[in-house]
Amino acid sequence: MVAARWNCFSFQLVFAISFIFSIAEVCNGGRTSSFVRNSDLSRDMPLDSDVFLVPPGYNAPQQVHITQGDHLGNAVIVSWVTPDEPGSNSVFYWAENSELKNSAQGIVLTYKYFNYTSGFIHHCTIRDLEFDTKYYYEVGIGNSSRRFWFVTPPAIGPDVPYTFGLIGDLGQTHDSNSTLTHYELNPAKGQTLLFLGDLSYADAYPFHDNARWDTWGRFIERNAAYQPWIWTAGNHEIDVVPAIREVIPFKPYTHRYHVPYTASGSTSPLWYSIKRASTYIIVLSSYSAYGINFTI
């Protein structure tokens, strides 16, 4: 009996040891890629980087970006910032191959965050657009006006081909720049970008220096002015700092990045849905309840 037990135990021991060795062997996958992560964390691009250049001309619109403006894709929200004065809230737009220029009137707002005061942030929804059509649009006045374009999606349906890109945690480091460039050069040609939260990482700076929200807006303009970015807030958008009496969650984000939440019957920009081509996109920010019980 004792011998039998020992035999059994020794068998288990041998089995356990051989199991551990086999696991160790399985776990040693070897080198699967030539990629070696940079030991130095990528740093933010300096303020004088070309990707942050302010467009020329007095009060020229900057940080231009667009997103879907309704539930089905027939509208676009155009947003931009004028630095010196409110200027015009109008967007002029026209379909390619059309002589008829339309205009839409938007709103302008500003906000303060500790010792920072924003520029004049414009949001204008242009509606009743045709599906699958290229439109040009212009913002700003006179010599400082700027022209961009976008293509509306095809009508919604179950088998409508459409290509989305996905980016999250972008920030404004040198790696951020190569990430955006990879997206732009990808042969799959993303037509709309789903942004998964964590935009500028301005909250990494003392007092969440909101000037880094402005640099980020200028950085992404090269893509976000030409195709919709569908926005979700992440933890880096919370921006609550009681020590400097900043206790309204998502203040910079919600002032700068408008979304079509009312079109889906939502009561908050932190959750909403849109349809686009063959997709039904539901946006949920898991941080939306943050700060509800906050008091100072």
CB of 41 vs Fe ion, minimal distance in Å: 14
State how far the Cα of 114 lies from the Cα of 271, in Å rounded to an integer. Answer: 27
Nearer of residues 12 and 286 to Fe ion, judged by Cβ: 286
CA atoms within 13 A on the CB side of 133: 18
Least distance from Fe ion to the Cβ atom of residue 197, Å: 6
CA nearest neighbour of 232 among 180, 289, 173, 282: 282
| In the complex, least distance from residue 162 CB atom to Fe ion, rounded to whole angstroms | 26
CA distances from 72 to 66, 67, 128, 232 (A): 15, 12, 11, 18
Residue placing its CB nearer to Fe ion in the complex, 198 or 214: 198
Q: How far is the CB of 20 from Fe ion (least distance, A)?
A: 36
Specify whether the backbone of 200 is left (phi greater than 0), alpha (psi in -120 to 50) or beta.
alpha
Residue number of the CB closest to Fe ion reads: 198
Q: CB 168 → Fe ion: shortest distance, Å?
A: 6
Q: Which is nearer to Fe ion, 138 or 198 (CB)?
A: 198
Please, which residue, 137 or 257, has the CB nearer to Fe ion?
Answer: 257
Residues engaged in binding Fe ion (CB under 5 A): 169, 198
| Residue in the structure block whose two tokens are 């070309």 | 50
CB atoms closer than 10 angstroms to residue 42: 14
Which CB, 138 or 203, lies closer to Fe ion?
203
277 in Cβ contact with 161 (< 8 Å): yes
State both tokens at 28: 């040693």
- Of residues 169 and 175, the one with the C-beta less far from Fe ion: 169
- For the CB of residue 198, give the shortest distance to Fe ion in the complex, in Å: 4
Question: Which two tokens mark 114?
Answer: 């500790």
Residues in the chain: 296
